[in-house]
C-alpha cells in the first residue's frame, strides 16, 4: 500500500547527513522530552490488545472501542469469557474487527496456557502470538518494557524516506537503518517522535514544512510550496 508512493518520497531527496541527525533528534527531544503513545491503556495486556486492534485503524477509533471493552475485560481470562460475539460487540467499529477478535482471543488463550496470563517480554514469544507481527512486538517491547526498538508504521516509513533519515523500500529495511543511524540517547523515544511528526506535521498529502521544527535538517522542504498568506 505504501510502496507505490516510495519513488515520490525519495526522488531528489538527499540522505540526511550524520551530523544533521543529532540536531534532528535533539530538536524533537527539546519540543517533547517524554513522548507517549496515543493509545489508552493501563497494563501491558491492555497495550498488547490495543496495538493488535490498531492495525489499519486509527488510535482514536481504537481508544473509543477499548474505553468500554477494558472496563469489562482487562485481562486475558476476562477477554476469553466474553467469547467471540461478545468481543466483537465492543470492537465492531474498528476495521477488520472480525479477524482481530479471533486473533485476540487466540492470543489470550496462549497467554493463559503458556505464560500464566502475563505478556511475554521477548520478541520471539510476542511474534508467536496470533495477530502479532514485528511492528506490534516492537511497540510492546518499546512502550511497555523500554527497549530501543523501532516499530515502522506508515508514518515512520514516510518520514524516514521523505527526510532522507533512513531511506528504504521495506519497513524492515527502514527499521534496521534507523537503529543504525539514530544516536543511542534518542533511540528509546525515537519511535514516538517520528510517528507524531508524520501524523501531525509531515503528513502524506500535504506536509506542513513551514511549521516543522526539524525542517532545517530535511532536504524535502525546498520542494514544498508554502501556504499563501
Q: Catalytic amino acids?
A: 135, 153
Phi-psi region of 131 (alpha: psi -120 to 50; beta: other; left: phi over 0): left
The residues, any chain, with a CB within 8 Å of residue 194's CB and separated by 6 or more, are 155, 156, 159, 160
CA 67 to chain centre: 20
Assign 186 to helix, strand or coil.
helix
Residues 158/202, Cβ–Cβ less than 8 Å: yes
Please give the Cα distance from 101 to 186 (Å, whole number).
Answer: 35
Please give the Cα distance from 86 to 75 (Å, whole number).
Answer: 15
Distance (Å) of CA 193 to CA 5, 114, 175: 22, 34, 14
Amino acid at each position: 500500500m505504501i510502496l507505490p508512493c516510495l519513488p515520490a518520497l525519495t526522488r531528489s531527496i538527499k540522505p540526511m547527513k550524520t551530523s544533521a541527525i543529532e540536531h534532528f533528534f535533539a530538536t524533537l527531544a527539546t519540543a517533547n522530552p517524554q513522548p507517549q503513545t496515543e493509545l489508552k491503556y493501563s497494563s501491558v495486556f491492555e497495550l498488547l490488545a490495543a496495538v493488535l486492534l490498531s492495525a489499519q485503524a486509527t488510535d482514536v477509533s481504537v481508544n473509543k472501542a477499548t474505553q468500554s471493552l477494558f472496563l469489562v475485560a482487562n485481562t486475558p481470562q476476562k477477554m476469553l469469557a466474553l467469547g467471540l460475539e461478545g468481543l466483537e460487540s465492543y470492537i465492531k467499529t474498528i476495521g477488520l474487527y472480525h479477524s482481530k477478535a479471533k486473533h485476540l482471543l487466540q492470543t489470550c488463550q496462549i497467554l493463559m496456557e503458556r505464560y500464566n496470563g502475563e505478556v511475554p517480554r521477548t520478541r520471539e514469544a510476542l511474534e508467536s502470538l496470533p495477530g502479532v507481527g514485528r511492528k506490534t512486538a516492537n511497540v510492546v517491547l518499546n512502550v511497555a518494557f523500554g527497549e530501543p526498538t523501532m516499530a515502522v508504521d506508515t508514518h515512520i516509513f514516510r518520514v524516514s524516506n521523505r527526510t532522507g533519515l533512513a531511506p528504504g523500500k521495506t519497513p524492515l529495511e527502514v527499521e534496521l537503518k534507523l537503529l543504525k543511524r539514530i544516536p543511542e540517547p534518542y533511540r528509546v523515544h525515537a519511535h514516538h517522535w517520528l510517528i507524531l511528526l508524520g501524523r501531525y506535521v509531515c503528513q502524506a498529502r500535504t506536509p506542513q514544512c513551514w511549521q516543522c521544527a526539524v525542517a532545517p535538517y530535511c532536504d524535502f522542504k525546498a520542494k514544498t510550496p508554502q501556504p499563501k498568506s
